[in-house]
Amino acid sequence: MNPNFLQTPIDYLKGVGPNRADLLRKELGIHTFQDLLNLFPHRYIDRTQYYKISQLQPNSSDVQIIGKITDLHEVTQKRGKRLVATFEDDTGTMELVWFRGHKWIRDGLKLETPYVIFGKTNLFNRKYNMPHPEMELLEDHKQNLRSAMQAVYPSTEKLSNRGVTNRVIAKIMQQLFRETKGKFAETLSNDLINDLKLITKSEALFNIHFPKNQQLLAKAQFRLKFEELFYIQLQLILKNLIHKSKIKGFPFKTVGSLFNTFYKKHLPFELTNAQKRVIKEIRQDLGSNAQMNRLLQGDVGSGKTIVALMSMLIGLDNGFQACLMAPTEILSVQHYNSLVDYCKQLNISIKLLTGSTKTLERREIHESLENGDLNILIGTHALLEEKVKFKNLGLAIIDEQHRFGVAQRSKLWKKNTSPPHILVMTATPIPRTLAMSVYGDLDISIIDELPAGRKPIKTVHRYDNNRLKVFRFMRDEIAKGRQIYIVYPLIQESETMDYKDLMDGYASIEREFPKPDYQISIVHGRMKSADKDYEMQRFAKGETQIMVATTVIEVGVDISNATVMIIESAERFGLSQLHQLRGRVGRGAEQSYCILMTSHKLSNDSKIRLETMVNTNDGFEIAEVDLKLRGPGDLMGTQQSGVLNLKIANIVKDKDILAQARYHAKKILSSDPKLEQSEHKVLSETYRQMGKYKNIWNYIS
């Protein structure tokens, strides 16, 4: 068959026509035969069984019954009309009910003619009824391409209201198989098929739509999931290889005196093994001829900053400048403060550039950047401004990457003849499987170990009516000289209700902890950034004991004397956010606590989130739970939504298949990076076709 046949617009399939074609395009994104073929069922029903009306049970699942309609009439109710049919077999009668689409149903139904009906039954007034049944004439039913299992396709309300039911979709699918004779070009190499004992493409497609039995369905699913994940991995790894061969970085050949001096003389603690390993990985990248593009993942408090500094020192040792960019002013200031002393010891110049840097200083920074006097620049988005020009930027580090888009990242590149090495740091633990499929084009380093001597944070869940006890606990901690965060949900800084909660909360804390014994800070998104900074500084210096805040303090803030994190309305936060917030404490030697306050009204998901927080401090474990609760889309934000376009695989449920796909993609590319060998021809051809039609993975970018 001509492979282009599958690119035929869906309008040309017999039984589709312009109206249905339009619906299929708009509702399901089906434009071509190929798209239809790749509309995979999301479940299957066993239609080998037929029920008698007398056998029906209340609340049965979907059942299939043979019988005929003896009467059809409309019933008018207060809330509109419904269409009711009396349906009978040799054991009894029941009703079929429609609430919508009366006209086309009425016109299409035949009285006194045997039908096979299918659907859920309800018991109402001691009579069974089936709302909106799937119906098929017994005669057609017998003739149709029969299979034991029946596919249920994704649908939309509009489709079913306009008569494009599951049966209609199944029918046009059958038509497609008739026209193609069910023969489809193979898209995986013989080696893969043999190694993994896969069924052929044609067999897989047939059995995914019309499974002959459970075993073949399972094989079809495996084959198609594997294929989908395999080509994504192939693409990600290929992109990475091309990137590495094309984009020459600045090789940092030496690890020189700055790095060594710092390591031997100034490092204030022993590095953890994980930190050592990660620095080694970074050093290897920096020393190679290719540009580094690495993601550094490490839970809150795992010590990423020192890794960033030591990486920058390697850059400086090789005569380059380095920069570190953070998403907020507060974070940039904190980075600057934690690095400035080390830099003094090493005689390195370091500056901070943010939105609130004064014009005069700004000008000085611009100048010293361009003439090369300035070694390290820390800052916010301000670093991306047109006027900021480095003399020779060798390494750019981006902290908390999920707040910077890829486009912004590449802005930094434009400032150089050759792109600097890039290190992206994130404390959002991303499960390895997800990281693999989303960030496949980045190399990943993981700090999976906290510095020794860190006491795990004790986390408890308290209901709002236990607040007095919580106040008592706060007083005790403050008496010991510790500081406390109280965080309110202000998901949208503009939400007036949330703002009121925060202010009410603040007022009650003020009453409970009166001046002059207690000093309280407050920070929220409606404040000017100078005022926010002022309050943060007061708290950081220990002038205030309690910090009432919104999630603006979420990321990175490091005040080691703060040992209590109280999260109000904790049920309203997502898991990763709760974990980030908790990470604000537990940074010093003292025992730290996290108290999750909630009302008694909790959804199941909230309960799971709270339990997870109480049970573990491990960010990766938490991320796995989060992924299960929310699915990958929410977790990653819309930016990486490519992962959502999976047609059949599910990266949470199919992580074993993903690992196999990755393994094989790597193996093949390592022996044949350009897919030139004859046995790989089918792979390169399929890959090329996918890019051309973008019909499976729209996110091939």
Measured CA distances, 669 to 120, 230, 678, 684, 689 (Å): 50, 12, 14, 11, 18
Measured CA distances, 503 to 422, 428, 603 (Å): 42, 29, 26
Which residue's C-beta sits nearest to Mg ion? 556
583 forms part of the interface with Mg ion (CB under 5 A): no
429 forms part of the interface with Mg ion (CB under 5 A): no
Q: Which of residues 211-240 bind Mg ion (CB under 5 A)?
A: none
User: For 46, what's the count of Cα atoms within 13 Å in the CB-facing half-sphere?
Assistant: 7
DSSP string covering 673-690: TT--SGGGHHHHHHHHHH
Q: How many residues bind ligand ADP (CB under 6 A)?
A: 17
CB 589 to ligand ADP: min, Å = 10
Is the CB of 394 or the CB of 556 nearer to Mg ion? 556
Measure CA 618 to chain center. 19
41 forms part of the interface with ligand ADP (CB under 6 A): no
Contact track, Mg ion, 140-169, x by CB under 5 A? ------------------------------
Pick from 249, 301, 315, 556 the residue near Mg ion by CB under 5 A: 556
Is the CB of 133 or the CB of 556 nearer to Mg ion? 556
CB 664 to ligand ADP: min, Å = 34
Is residue 118 within 8 Å of residue 47, measured between CB atoms?
A: yes
The conformation of residue 11, written as its DSSP 8-state character, comes to G
Q: Dihedral sign for Cα 408, 412, 414, 415, please.
A: positive
CB 544 to ligand ADP: min, Å = 21
Spell out the long-range contacts of 81-90 with Cβ–Cβ below 8 A and sequence spacing 24 or more: 85/109, 87/53, 87/115, 87/117, 87/130, 88/53, 89/52, 89/53, 89/65, 90/52
CB 583 to ligand ADP: min, Å = 7
CB 281 to ligand ADP: min, Å = 16
CB 426 to Mg ion: min, Å = 9
Query: Which single residue is written with the structure tokens 């695989």?
Result: 649
Burial code (b: 16+ CB inside 10 Å, e: under 16) for 219-252 equals: bbbbbbbbbbbbbbbbbbbbebbeebeeeebbeb
d(C-alpha 15, C-alpha 85), whole Å: 27
- Applying CB under 5 A, the span of 206-214, 346-354, 555-563, 591-599 interacting with Mg ion comes to 555-563
- Applying CB under 6 A, the span of 168-176, 266-274, 527-535, 692-700 interacting with ligand ADP comes to 266-274
CB 628 to ligand ADP: min, Å = 25
Q: Which of residues 389-448 bind ligand ADP (CB under 6 A)?
A: 427
- Applying CB under 6 A, the span of 107-115, 123-131, 271-279, 684-692 interacting with ligand ADP comes to 271-279
Is the CB of 335 or the CB of 662 nearer to Mg ion? 335
Pick from 228, 317, 448, 558 the residue near ligand ADP by CB under 6 A: 558
When CB distances are held under 5 to 8 angstroms depending on the partner's kind, the choice from ligand ADP, Mg ion, none that residue 271 binds is ligand ADP
Measured CA distances, 301 to 226, 270, 304, 619 (Å): 37, 15, 8, 11
d(C-alpha 99, C-alpha 80), whole Å: 8
Pick from 129, 147, 275, 380 the residue near ligand ADP by CB under 6 A: 275
Q: Which of residues 297-316 bind ligand ADP (CB under 6 A)?
A: 298, 300-306
Binding site for ligand ADP (CB under 6 A): 269-272, 275, 298, 300-306, 427, 451, 558, 587
Positions that interact with Mg ion (CB under 5 A): 556
